[in-house]
Amino acid sequence: MKNSFVRFFVLTALVSLQANAASLVDGDAAAGKEKSATCSACHGAEGNSVNPLWPNIAGQNAMYLVAQLKAFQPGEDGQPALRSNPLMTSMALPLSDEDIRDLAVYFEGLPAAVNSVADESTIDKAEALYRGGNEEEKIPACLACHGPTGRGNPAATYPALNGQHAAYTAKTLRDYASNARKSDGKTQLMRVISKRLSDEDIEALASYVQGLK
C-alpha cells in the first residue's frame, strides 16, 4: 500500500514536469480579455490582486480556473455548488461555459506574480514539508502535485502556487480542512491532507509558496 502511494505521487510529479506549455483549454484569449473587466475589480487589471485574501490568477493554468469557476455554480440536478462565496458566486452564475473557457485562457496567458517569502524564519520547516512531506503524519510532499517550483500540473488540474498571497493560501488550506471548500474532486485529496496539517504547518507552507519562482 505504501509503495503504491509513493508511486502515485512520483508519477504525478513526472506528468507535471512534462506538461505541455500550450493551453489545454479551448478558449479565446482575446474574447476573455474583453470579458475580464469585472474580474479586474478584485483580481487586478493583470490578474494580480492587491488584497492578499483575493487570489492572484495571472498565469494560473486554465484547466484549474475552469474547474474553480464552475465550482461556484450549482451542480447538475440542483446539486449545491462546491464553493460558496457571495461575491464570486454572483460573478460566476451568469457565465456560460464559453465565457469560462475564454476567461481561463486569457488569465493563464498573463505573467504570474513574483513575490518574496512572507516569513523567512519558517523557510526550513516549510521547505522540508513541501519537498519531503511528513511520513509520520502521512502528509505527502506538496511538490508531487504542485511541482518543485510550485507551477502545478495543468493536465491533472492541480493549481500553480508560486507567487500566491500567503494569506489566501493559508485560508484555502483551512477551508479544505474544515470542509468549507469541497472543490478538490472525488478524491478529496486536499481535504484529507489539510486536516493533517497543524496551524504552524499551514502558516509556514503558505509563506513558503508565496516566494517560489
Would you give the DSSP letter of residue 148?
T
Looking at the DSSP bridge assignments, the partners of residue 134 are 139
Q: How far apart are CA 181 and CA 187, in angstroms?
A: 14
Q: Do domains 2-20+115-210 and 29-108 have the same CATH topology?
A: yes
CA dihedral 57, 115, 173, 7 (to 10 degrees): 90
Residues 6 or more apart whose CB falls under 8 angstroms from that of 11 comprise none
Q: How many CB atoms lie within 10 A of CB 37?
A: 9
The string of pLDDT tens digits covering residues 34-62 is 999 999 999 999 999 999 999 999 999 99
Q: How far apart are CA 117 and CA 213, in angstroms?
A: 10
Q: Looking at residues 90-104, what average pLDDT do you find?
A: 98
| Cell numbers describing residue 29 | 484569449
Contact in structure between 153 and 147 (CB atoms under 8 Å): yes
Question: Helices marked H in the chain — which ranges?
Answer: 2-18, 29-35, 37-43, 62-71, 86-92, 97-108, 123-132, 143-146, 166-177, 189-196, 199-210
**What is the Rg, in whole angstroms, of the alpha carbon atoms belonging to the chain?**
17
Percent of the chain with pLDDT over 70: 90
List the domain boundaries for the chain.
2-20+115-210, 29-108
pLDDT band at residue 15, thresholds of 50, 70 and 90? Answer: very low
Q: How far apart are CA 198 and CA 108, in angstroms?
A: 32
Q: How far apart are CA 75 and CA 114, in angstroms?
A: 35
User: What pLDDT does 78 receive?
Assistant: 81
Q: Looking at residues 67-75, what average pLDDT do you find?
A: 96
User: What pLDDT does 13 receive?
Assistant: 45
Q: Looking at residues 15-19, what average pLDDT do you find?
A: 42
Q: Looking at residues 21-46, what average pLDDT do you find?
A: 94
Percent of the chain with pLDDT over 90: 87
The overall average pLDDT reported for the chain is 92
Residue 4 has pLDDT above 90, yes or no: no
Considering the domain delimited by 29-108, tell me its CATH architecture.
Answer: Orthogonal Bundle (1.10)
The string of pLDDT tens digits covering residues 154-205 is 999 999 999 999 999 999 999 999 999 999 999 999 999 999 999 999 999 9
Q: Which CATH superfamily is domain 2-20+115-210 in?
A: Cytochrome c-like domain (1.10.760.10)
pLDDT band at residue 21, thresholds of 50, 70 and 90? Answer: low
Contact in structure between 75 and 82 (CB atoms under 8 Å): yes
